[in-house]
Amino acid sequence: MKQNKNWQKGRGKLGIFKPLLGSWVCETDTERGPLVCSRTFEPFLDNKYIKLTVIWHFVTSNYEEYCLFGVDKDQQIAFWSFTNDGKQSNGLLTDVSDIHPQAIGFAAQMPAGFARQFYWPDDQGGFYWAVESKTSKGWNRFVEHHYIKP
């Protein structure tokens, strides 16, 4: 897979988020009907964190997530996620080069098992985002979105 020139890291440990900064939107069909999902990545608290705001707009309801990415006490890049249904998760940066050489991924132990989420560039200046759960047979992808600038 060839490297995407628009997907360049910035400076510092959180420089990996440079290609994701800004607002993005995905429109897709789901089992719950049409979905418009927005993701906004922005520097937060003197650039010590990246704040991610995600709003899933379904026909009958919204689902919200607020997530911080930053360096934890062990100097590892981590995330802390909170959702409007009261769920919380946290995890660490992980290697997801099996997806794409420039992919950025995070892994976490969830109540339902081990999972990973990751972002990788498309060829038009947007990106893909997916979530997979670990199974005895490998990774099971259960959601994938394509994001573009609104």
Q: What local confidence, expressed as pLDDT, does residue 112 receive?
A: 80
**What domains appear along the chain, each with residue ranges and CATH number?**
24-147 (2.40.128.20)
Q: What local confidence, expressed as pLDDT, does residue 130 receive?
A: 98
SS (H, E, C) the chain: CCCCCCCCCCCCHHHHHHHHCEEEEEEEEECCEEEEEEEEEEEECCCCEEEEEEEEEECCCEEEEEEEEEECCCCCEEEEEEECCCCEEEEEEECCCCCCCCCEEEEEEECCEEEEEEEEECCCCCEEEEEEEEECCEEEEEEEEEEECC
* Position 4 pLDDT exceeds 90: no
Higher pLDDT, 141 or 111: 141
How confident is the model over 54-108, as pLDDT tens digits?
A: 999 999 999 999 999 999 999 999 999 999 999 999 999 999 999 999 999 999 9
Q: What local confidence, expressed as pLDDT, does residue 2 receive?
A: 62
**This prediction's pTM:** 0.94
How confident is the model over 69-82, as pLDDT tens digits?
A: 999 999 999 999 99
